[in-house]
Amino acid sequence: MTTIQCVGCPVQENGNKSGSNMDSNSYQIAINICCSYSIAKSWRYFTGHMVPCNIKIQGLAEKCAVKWKGTWKYEIEDDNVITRTMEITNTLYCKEAPYCIFFPQHWSQQSESPSGTYCKVGHKFIELIWQNSNLHQ
């Protein structure tokens, strides 16, 4: 699992600030290419209506019983240093998660342009591509 920092609460691990110097709204997001859903750990990261669900996740915070899902909204800077708003519908709310988990396939499936929204993974990089390859990070 690779961790990136998303623009938008201090990056904290065990109470210690780590990584880049981020503003008070920034938080860590892990990128995982092996899950079925993206996961956000705070109710405040969602926008709009939350929908009840009953999904059990094994291996995350030992076992997480997800009761809600909704639209995860956050901001990220593209390669041109322009802040873009990202929204991923049907994202699971799991307060027990150690951090938010971004799943590129889920992001693509929920986007308006699934074939133009994807992730390239290399030895030392992860590149996010969206809006029909017009935007990169």
Could you state, in order of their start, the residue ranges of all structural domains in the chain?
2-136
Give the pLDDT band (50/70/90) at residue 19.
very low
pTM of the model: 0.72
- pLDDT tens per residue, range 64-123: 889 999 999 988 887 888 888 889 999 999 988 888 888 888 888 898 888 888 888 888
Are 64 and 56 in contact, with CB atoms under 8 Å apart? yes
Which of the pair, 19 or 72, is modelled with greater confidence? 72
Are 20 and 8 in contact, with CB atoms under 8 Å apart? no
